[in-house]
Structure 1
Amino acid sequence: MSEDLLLTFRSPPLPFFVESNRITYRPGEEHPNRTNLGVFDLLFVNEGTLYVAEENYKWILKPGDVLILRPDRWHYSFRPCDEETIFDWVHFQTVGAWEETEDNQPGSILGDYYTYAIRLPKKMKLNYPDEAKLIFSQLHEAAKSSSHGAFWDRQQRFLHLLQMLDEGWRSDAAKAAVSVAERAAAYLKLNYRTSISNTMLSEVLDLHTNYITRCMSEVFGCTPQQYLLYYRLDQAKLLLIKTDWTIARVAEETGFRQTPHFSRLFASNTGMPPLKFRKRFTT
């Protein structure tokens, strides 16, 4: 269904604000007909009803509803407003990768240890519409200003808006594969120096081990233990480059209890033993 679509952006780079405004339509007026606008068009209804379509998808937007239209599709109104309608619009863009998928599918854009996958519902109803109205009002004011600081102000307020949409979706889909996988990953990254079993992870998340494993496999392409290993090895790489610690200490600091075991795993995954890796990047 059209309301189950999810837009995913890999960050960094972060999506960035272009322009915004608040519009009032009188009865009989309608949203403009546009093709390949070149920017994402985010709509938020304050009062009244908007009748908006994108290609073959159609939405009836009520107060509190948010809709994000793609930059590469045909947008149009399939029915004029039948009452006074007030809505906010925000144009934004990204220079990074993005995709649109069904929200029960992980898609191809995934976060990793250093990047984040921003996931925004194509359409959603905000739980805190009054907070959203304030954010939009502040964003419009910043957009009108030409001062040096206005650029930072509007970008920060726009990112606050994206964060609210991203977190709002996650709270509504707390058991979704993406949410479970990211909760598991966050715990693994926070505690990677200690021994973590699948049973321990299951108890922390209060979910069955098989379900956690399936979610992580769908979202990250690996099991929890594989994710933990990859993260530990990445941390080991950083320590080998940034410190002069012994290989034994690097192994211990990254959760490996036996140095020979660490060295074998490191060589197997990077193509060279730890000492050779260090020399390659520090000489």
Structure 2
Amino acid sequence: MSDPFIVTFRSPPLPYFIDSNRVTYASGEEHPSRVNMGVFGLLVVQEGALHIGEEEQAWTVKPGQALILRPDKRHYSIRPCRERTTFDWVHFQAAGAWEESGGSREATLRGDHYTYAIRLPKMMALSSFERIGEALAKLHEAAQSSTHAAFWGRQQRFLDLLRLLEEDWRSDAAKAAVSVAERAAAYLKAHYRFQVTNTDLSGELGLHANYIARCMTEVYGCTPQQYLLYYRIDQAKLLLLTTDWPISRVAEETGFRQTPHFSRLFAAHTGVPPHRFRKRFTE
């Protein structure tokens, strides 16, 4: 089952683990109602079915499905379980920016060159159910440990789980826009020192240039050529700060053919020409 609502966490900082366990309800039992818990709740059903509501939304979560509940809304049971129901729950929190998009709410959080947008459907069917179940079991085991090093184990197991959940969702061809945008960004970053045209990018991805541009605009808020320019400027900043190379070599190393053209673009995007940028941070 697909769900139009997407929960996005911008990292760093990464979401962090609070607690987890596996619970079994007998027929007739139901999930407790809670209000503004302050933590996210991830529910993964192993057998039976959970009937959960969040404000005006409602779901029946079946085996092999997962649901993310928000920290700032009311959660409640729609009805008791009609059969033995076993599920894993994970509480976690996000110190950084996060949002839920879908319906009338548009997505605003995006990754850039140095940050990452972790995107997970609010409700998802797990194609890698066995692997995710194993990750949950390891997380529960780590959660019970009281050793000095337990913190590191819990957080690592939780990040492994997040990675598996996101990989599971990204394997769905229906999420092509994100996949196309990230493939294009990876190619541009790997070839920023060279002249990369939209035709080159189209040939590499095997997709029409206009479609790639739409995907990148949707995910990153800019076209491929704009993305390439921003990345080159960022790389130029690093070289100005970490080398004594002349401006002409910095321009060449970051894919600009002519030094005056590089200097004009750099000044337009940073507010100062390259030599003043370097001087500001080296004196």
Task: Please indicate the TM-score interval, normalised by the length of the shorter structure.
Answer: over 0.9
CA offset at residue 272 of structure 1? 1.5
Match of 2:85 in 1: 85
* Counterpart contact for 1:174–1:180, Cα < 8 Å: no
- Unaligned 5+ segments in structure 2 are none
Cα shift readout 1:167-191 (whole Å, capped 9, x = no counterpart):
2111114553222222211111111
SS at match of 1:120: strand
* Counterpart contact for 2:2–2:125, Cα < 8 Å: no
- Unaligned 5+ segments in structure 1 are none
Match of 2:110 in 1: 110
Q: Residues 127 and 222 (structure 1 numbering): CA distance in 2 closer, same or farther, change over 3 Å?
A: same
Q: Residues 272 and 11 (structure 1 numbering): CA distance in 2 closer, same or farther, change over 3 Å?
A: same
Match of 2:55 in 1: 55
Consecutive aligned runs of 4 or more in structure 1 exceeding 3 Å deviation? 103-106, 173-176
Percent of aligned positions that are identical? 66
Q: Does 1:242 align with 2:247?
A: no
Give the whole-Å Cα distance in 2 for the aligned partners of 1:99 and 1:237: 31
CA offset at residue 223 of structure 1? 1.1
Give the whole-Å Cα distance in 1 for the aligned partners of 2:122 and 2:173: 14
Cα shift readout 1:145-182 (whole Å, capped 9, x = no counterpart):
11111111110110011111112111114553222222
Q: Which amino acid aligns with 1:96?
A: G
Q: Which amino acid aligns with 2:89?
A: W
- 5 Å matches for 1:21-100? 21-100=21-100
SS at match of 1:146: coil
SS at match of 2:82: coil
SS at match of 2:107: coil
Give the whole-Å Cα distance in 1 for the aligned partners of 2:221 and 2:25: 47
Cα shift readout 1:107-126 (whole Å, capped 9, x = no counterpart):
11110010000001101111
TM-score (norm 2): 0.96
Give the whole-Å Cα distance in 2 for the aligned partners of 1:189 and 1:219: 16
CA offset at residue 81 of structure 1? 0.8
Match of 2:200 in 1: 200
Using the TM superposition, name which of 176-185 and 90-99 deviates more.
176-185
Q: Which amino acid aligns with 2:124?
A: M
TM-score (norm 1): 0.96
CA offset at residue 106 of structure 1? 6.1
Q: Which amino acid aligns with 1:38?
A: G
CA offset at residue 31 of structure 1? 0.5
Using the TM superposition, name which of 69-78 and 169-178 deviates more.
169-178
Give the whole-Å Cα distance in 1 for the aligned partners of 2:64 and 2:179: 24
CA offset at residue 273 of structure 1? 1.3
Cα shift readout 1:47-98 (whole Å, capped 9, x = no counterpart):
1111111111111111111000001111111111111111000000011110
CA offset at residue 219 of structure 1? 2.2
Give the whole-Å Cα distance in 2 for the aligned partners of 1:70 and 1:151: 24
Q: Does 1:160 align with 2:160?
A: yes
Q: Residues 2 and 205 (structure 1 numbering): CA distance in 2 closer, same or farther, change over 3 Å?
A: closer
- 5 Å matches for 1:113-192? 113-173=113-173, 175-192=175-192
Give the whole-Å Cα distance in 2 for the aligned partners of 1:175 and 1:2: 11
Give the whole-Å Cα distance in 2 for the aligned partners of 1:7 and 1:187: 26
Q: Which amino acid aligns with 1:272?
A: V
Using the TM superposition, name which of 255-264 and 196-205 deviates more.
255-264
Q: Residues 44 and 121 (structure 1 numbering): CA distance in 2 closer, same or farther, change over 3 Å?
A: same
Q: For this pair of structures, how many residues does the alignment match?
A: 283
Q: Residues 97 and 72 (structure 1 numbering): CA distance in 2 closer, same or farther, change over 3 Å?
A: same
Q: Does 1:227 align with 2:237?
A: no
